[in-house]
Amino acid sequence: MIHKIDFNLASSEQISASLGGQLADIRLSQNRTQEQVATEAGVSRATLARLEQGHGVSLDTFIRVLMALKLQAHLEHFLPDPSIRPLDRIALAGRERQRARPVREGEAEENWTWGDDP
C-alpha cells in the first residue's frame, strides 16, 4: 500500500498512521509476523499493532521496532543536521552556540528554515 502524504499539511495523527502503515508494509515485505518483530523489539504484539495502526506509542518503542526491522540507519534522516551555517560560524568566531536568544523588540526576526540555503 502507498502511504504518500504531504507532511507539511498532515496532522500528527495522519503522519502516525502513514508511518505505521509503512512499518507494517516493510514487516510484511520481510515476511515476518507481528509476534516475531515484537519479540525481537522487546515490546508486546499489541503495542506493535498499535504502532502499525498509527496510534500513539513511545519514541523508545518506535526506535526498538525500527531496530528489529533493521531500519535504524534511516533514523539519521528524520532530523536535519543542526550544524551552524558557515556564515553564522564566522559571526560567532568559531564558538558553538550554547543557547537561543529571544528577538528584541525592533529587531527583524530571520525567517530562515532548513532547506532554504541556495
Superfamily of domain 12-74: lambda repressor-like DNA-binding domains (1.10.260.40)
Q: What is the pLDDT of residue 40?
A: 96
Question: pLDDT tier at 25 (50, 70, 90 boundaries)?
Answer: very high
* Nearest-angstrom CA–CA distance, 43 and 65: 8
The residue with greater pLDDT, 36 or 108, is 36
pLDDT at 115: 66
Is 96 in contact with 84 (CB distance < 8 Å)? yes
pLDDT at 90 over 70: no
Over residues 37-56, the pLDDT tens digits come to 999 999 999 999 999 999 98
CA 90/CA 67 separation, integer angstroms? 39
Do residues 19 and 57 lie in contact, with contact meaning Cβ atoms separated by under 8 Å? Answer: no
Average pLDDT over every residue of 49-75: 93
User: Which of 67-71, 98-102, 105-109 ranks highest by mean pLDDT?
Assistant: 67-71
Taking every pair of Cα atoms in the chain, the longest distance, rounded to a whole number of angstroms, is: 60
Angle formed by the axes of helices 34-41 and 45-52, to 10°?
110
Residue showing cell 514487516? 27
Q: Which of 36-40, 99-103, 114-118 has the highest mean pLDDT?
A: 36-40
Domain residue spans in the chain?
12-74
pLDDT computed for residue 37 by the predictor: 96
